[in-house]
Structure 1
């Protein structure tokens, strides 16, 4: 566990140093689309244009990358999953690799309508896929013909193409990271409808107002997508690492709090057992005297029982020699004189 934590920190430090103005320039993050394809809402993120192509302001990109990374790290530290979405060819391999590295959910083939707004139906399909795979591993389909088994394999493969990255999605994700907002407009609309915050790489032809944490940059170049996605993945890993460190401290505190409770509980049971033993011994000594005395003195043994429970009195029955100050014997002799 310690070695894994060191590796995560090392990777994070390396990629944090890599996200610089120079690395953004080398990855081509500053290249936008043609001027005729631009979205006027992206004007605040555009620096200039050259040869009919918009140039994105990388200083703003650099600041927004770190803000988005800090947000995803907080979501991961809270224990929520992040869903990475990128179905275009330039982003598919990167999304799958970085999602698996950061233990995140991902969709890289096709966004199924209703993945978020009709989650119950999607969950049923996921359960059906898991059931088929389990039955195949257990050999339940071994008795089928070759043609029937091939059909089942094809069905499993088809379901895996769209659902393999969200098999572990038992609840709504805490946040989404999207490549190409224009292409994934259905995913953006569903996330906004159910209230899931979005972090996205936004090109010059996209609407940044639909995104909670936009990152202006080139969403077509593979190097640009890989650089930004890798930084987000490192932030997620850092958040999970922070959560694991906090959880490892909680059990020690819980054990320290539980130990005093165990001690007090055992002390009470010992006192109860001691009082019961003293009461039993007292009853054995007093039983012969109670049979010879009248009903008026029947309440006296109750007083001796109270004296037994107090820790200051060791001998509940006084000796005959020291009976001058012993109340039980004097009080018992008085009724005998009156009766005579």
Structure 2
């Protein structure tokens, strides 16, 4: 079975074996999946934006026209040489899984197929077919922890000619999130800020590095619960483009409404004023207005229905990871629309 453990992936990418014609990257950290896919493509020696040698396909489009994948896999580069085929957004699609299984059994001369997928269970068809394929390799990509995160920080510090003491490093790691691309962007920004000095300090970290793992996510959840329908799509796109996993959005929304449920119960059943209930929760001052607006607008019965709807959407997204992004987007927008409707009713 051709697969690597999570801790072995970087070593494989440093010395890739292109005897494997199909390589699958999968995991909950979509930013890490994309970064490692790009690293392998670069090592293969094909310019990913060269239309004569490389093509990028969306998994959803392939499901509708699976012949396109076979055509691209067997097409020779117009100018000769190697050919790169990248497939993004793969999940539970049956047609793609079966096609990859067939291609994984072939030795595609001068062609590399790189598939990017979300978090796949061990029994997922796509993962199973790649792991069993004679000419395929499956590479798991999990959230940055421990040595992996330190290695990424060291790479950026070395490139900038900077050093960092232990206290500053720990402060930096505490602010980095679960997405590799967003985290690397924050470290690059920090290095640029400290350029011209010998070492990055804890004060530098506090001054320039945002909390990747929380700030943007909190902003999107607050917007959904408060009914900011026009603003929410931009916030969702910003998070998903940066690689935030859909399950993080779903879980954060569910936790928020479970907390709202407890607070609203105190308001409706025990007569506690909204302001006092919010104060007792002690939210960050930037989140306080949004929480007060949500607690005022949402009656307990509506909160109960929304919690049930969110739980159902989470289950649906886990059953079909290929549709996880679409389902999550719909969950947030449905929440915002309902919040806006409730607020409008309250103003009458």
Answer yes or no: same fold by TM over 0.5: no
Give TM-score, length-normalised by structure 1: 0.22
Larger Rg belongs to = 1
> Which structure is richer in relative contact order (CA contacts within 8 A, separation 6 or more)?
1
